[in-house]
Structure 1
Amino acid sequence: MGKNRNIAIAKYAGAVCSGLLLTASFPNLGSPLIAWFALVPLMASLRNCSPMGSLRLGYLFGMIHFATLTYWVIPCLKTYGMIPLYLSLIILFLFAAYLSLFTAGFALAVNRICRDAKMLSLIGPALWVVFEYARAHLFTGFPWELLGYSQYRTLPLIQMADITGVYGVSWLVAMGNIAVFLIYLSLAGHKWNGHVLSKKYAVVSLAGFITILALAWGYGMWRMGCIE
């Protein structure tokens, strides 16, 4: 009983940690490097998790991230809408609660579709982009600080957006997170949904990511040279 409780606490802590790390990837803190591992604690929390547990963890991750990311809603409502502080806080909570549906959907999709670590490496980044695209367009959308925007300072990397849009950058950053997670998974000897991940595949996954990153970077350098 105590062991299960400790595992549950660790999983929730991982979701909270990822939410805070992802927020720290954007302005005002704005460190692009953080985005490349911000999702790793969440992925670790989703390991060997039930569908409902994954849904809860994804929702908690989203609540922490969006509540800390869109804090500016409160002063805007107070200053320009003349709305009392307590109502502004309620509106922020409801806003974050809505946006968190998309991160909860991502976590559930990972649980149901990515039954082993290989599927996670191949499909996981695309699942992130699917739910990010839905957030940006559904019900007029809210494309505020998509994952790819975290790389706004990394000029060579974001040149690929002239082909893929911001979603291509988001896909690459999500791929990097999953590659880092798979290395952790193999080194720690942990299973993903009951499946053992070989160190060889984890290294291949990381090498594949580095290759794509290098190609994107090379294209960006060439593209910037053309503009100059």
Structure 2
Amino acid sequence: MFFDPLNLFHLFVCANGLCESSRKKGADDRNDGDPSRRQSRVLIVKSKIANEIQRKPRKAISYTEVAISFFFFKKKKKKKRNPSRTRDFFCVCLFEKDSPFWWKQMIDCERRIKRLAKRLNHMCDLTLDFCGVCNQFSDHCANIYNAVKKSWEDVENEYAMDILSLNAQMNELGEQFAHMSAASRQLAVTAVLVKPFREFSQHHLAEVNASSKALKSLNSQHELTLKQLLLTPQHPPDPATTKKTFYVMFYFYFY
């Protein structure tokens, strides 16, 4: 995570300016009738915006985790002073160790990818079972077609090619079974389209597992190397530097 305290300093300076402008709104309203004054304020705002845009971005300071807390309170003043004066303390807490929130987010992402892979595999299994049933149904329909399509002249008393004859009716029934067999065979081809889903889930799951394992291994090596470098007899740990956090205080006075 990248964090620059100087950017927050500029943000608070802008907030201070907004507070000052809001407090002086009554005085400015009396001068709103002056066009030159309004024009000067517009030019000032435009110049500030142009300066902010042209200013080069500051180099960010990398920290593992940044926790920001704002404390606002009012302190009683004498009657002669402004009672609305407030003192704001801006605290930045910088952790030396890795952020537990980042690791938790990474573990949640891994779990979601694993659930996705599991559901895709289950869908592929069901689809392949359906395709297998379609193939069996197509085979049975083809067998019925072959049995019905044979000539029925040995059964009929007087064989005729009329559409009302038994032979013609059985031929029509055989054609219906032939259509069902072809349709079931086409549905079974869906298995070819489902296999890429399984390959996709397995490929990405393997990459995520390998990356996670490598990241954890590198993190362990990094921590072990730091301990070996910092906790050597030549460089004993300084009690003043073993604090988990340190605070940087900025004081702003809003009138």
**TM interval, short-chain normalised:** under 0.3
Between the two structures, name the one with larger relative contact order (CA 8 Å, sep ≥ 6). 2
The structure with the greater share of residues assigned to helix is 1
Scaled by the length of structure 1, the TM-score of the pair is 0.22
